[in-house]
Chain A
Amino acid sequence: DAKTTQPTSMDCAEGRAANLPCNHSTISGNEYVYWYRQIHSQGPQYIIHGLKNNETNEMASLIITEDRKSSTLILPHATLRDTAVYYCIVRPLNQAGTALIFGKGTTLSVSS
Chain B
Amino acid sequence: EPEVTQTPSHQVTQMGQEVILRCVPISNHLYFYWYRQILGQKVEFLVSFYNNEISEKSEIFDDQFSVERPDGSNFTLKIRSTKLEDSAMYFCASSAARTANTEAFFGQGTRLTVV
Q: CB within 8 Å of B: which residues of A?
A: 30-32, 34, 38, 41-46, 49, 51, 87, 91-93, 96-105
B107 within 8 A of A: yes
Q: Is the CB of B109 within 8 A of A41?
A: yes
Interface SS of B by simple majority: strand
**In the complex, what residues of B have CB within 8 A of residue A32's CB?**
100-101
Instruction: Return the contact of B31 from the options A31, A93, A97 (Cβ within 8 A).
Output: A97
A to B CB contacts below 8 Å, 16 in the list: A43-B106, A44-B106, A45-B106, A46-B106, A49-B103, A87-B43, A93-B99, A93-B100, A96-B56, A97-B48, A97-B56, A98-B99, A99-B48, A100-B33, A100-B45, A102-B42
Q: Which of A44, A93, A104 has the most CB of B within 10 A?
A: A44
B29 within 8 A of A: no
Q: Which of B35, B44, B100, B111 has the most CB of A within 10 A?
A: B100
**In the complex, what residues of A have CB within 8 A of residue B58's CB?**
99
Chain A residue with Cβ nearest B100: A93
Q: A43-B93, A51-B101, A99-B56 are in contact. List 7 more A-B contacts (CB 8 A).
A: A41-B89, A41-B111, A46-B104, A96-B48, A98-B102, A100-B104, A102-B43
Chain B residue with Cβ nearest A93: B100
